[in-house]
Amino acid sequence: MGNSVALRDRLRARLGSRKTQGVALAVLIIMIILLPLFANNYIEEVATNTLFYIVLALGLNIVVGYAGLVDLGYAAFFAVGAYTTGIFMKFGVNFWLTIPIAVLFSVIAGIIIGGPTLRLRSDYLAIVTLGFGEITRITARNLKITGGASGLVGIQRPSIFGHILNQITDFYYLFFILVVLAVIVAMRLHNSRLGRAWQYIREDEDAAEAMGIDPVLTKLYAYMIGAAFGGIAGAFFAVKMTAISPETFAFTQSAMILLAVILGGMGKIPGAILGAAFLVLFPEIFRGIGQTRMLFFGILLVIIMVFRPQGLWPERKG
Partner 1 sequence: MSKKFLSTVAVTLLTLGLVVTGCGTQPSAPTAPSTTPSASGGAIKIGLPLPMTGSEATYGKDMENSIKMAVDEINAKGGVNGKNIVTVTGDDACDPQQATAAANKLVSEGVVAIVGGYCSGATIPTLTIYNEKNLPFVITAANSSKIAAQNPGNTFEINGTAVHQTQKAIELFKKLGAKNVAIVEQGDAYSADLAKQTEDSWKAAGNTVVSHDVTNKGEQDFSSLVTSLKSKNADLVFWTAYYADGALLIKQLRQGGYKGAIVVGDGSSDLKLIEMAGAAGEGTYVLSPPVAEYLPTAKQFADAYKVKYNQSPGAYAPLAYDGMKLMADALQRAGSTDGKTIIKALSDTKDFIGLAGKVNFAADKTLKESNFIVLQIKDGKFVLLP
Partner 2 sequence: MLQGLDCNYPRTWMNCSGERVHKMAVFSIVIQQIVNGLILGSFYSLIALGYSMVYGIIKLLNFAHGDIYMVGAFVGYGALGILGSKLGVGWLGIAVALLISMFLVGLLGMLIHRVAYQPLINKRAPRMSLLITAVGVSFTLFNGVMVLTNGEYKTFNTSLGYEGISIGLINITYTQIIMVVATAILMLALYWFINRTLYGKAMRAIALDQDACRLMGINVTKTIGLTFFVGSALAAAAGVMAGVYYGSIQFYMGFVIGLKAFTAAVIGGIGSIPGAMLGGLVLGLLETAGTQLPFIGSAWKDVFSFGILILLLVFKPTGILGKSEIERM
Confirm or reject binding of residue 211 to partner 2 (CB under 8 A). Answer: no
Q: Kind of pairing, strands 159-160 and 152-153?
A: unpaired
Output 36 or 195, the one with its CB closest to partner 1: 36
**Euclidean distance between CA atoms 110 and 227, whole angstroms:** 6
Q: What are phi and psi of 70, to 5 degrees?
A: -85, 120
Confirm or reject binding of residue 111 to partner 2 (CB under 8 A). Answer: no
Nearest by Cα to 238 from 152, 163, 136, 143: 152
- Please state the closest distance from residue 245 (CB atom) to partner 2, in A: 16
Confirm or reject binding of residue 310 to partner 2 (CB under 8 A). Answer: yes
Q: What is the chain's Cα-based Rg?
A: 20
Binding residues with partner 1: total (CB under 8 A): 59
Interacting residues with partner 1 between 152 and 191 (CB under 8 A): 153-154, 166, 168
Confirm or reject binding of residue 127 to partner 2 (CB under 8 A). Answer: yes
- Please state the closest distance from residue 131 (CB atom) to partner 1, in A: 15
Q: From its phi and psi, is residue 243 left (phi > 0), alpha (psi between -120 and 50) or beta?
A: beta
- Please state the closest distance from residue 121 (CB atom) to partner 2, in A: 6
Output 174 or 258, the one with its CB closest to partner 2: 258
| Among 84, 146, 245, 254, interactor with partner 1 by CB under 8 A | 245
**203 has which bridge partners?**
none
Give the CA distances from residue 3 to residues 9, 232, 308, 317, in Å, rounded to whole numbers and listed in that order.
10, 50, 25, 22
Confirm or reject binding of residue 144 to partner 2 (CB under 8 A). Answer: yes
**Euclidean distance between CA atoms 20 and 17, whole angstroms:** 6
Binding residues vs partner 1 (CB under 8 A): 11-13, 15-16, 18, 20-21, 24-25, 27-28, 31, 35-47, 49, 141-142, 148-151, 153-154, 166, 168, 241-245, 247-248, 270, 273-274, 277, 281, 284-285, 287-288, 290-291, 313-314, 316-317
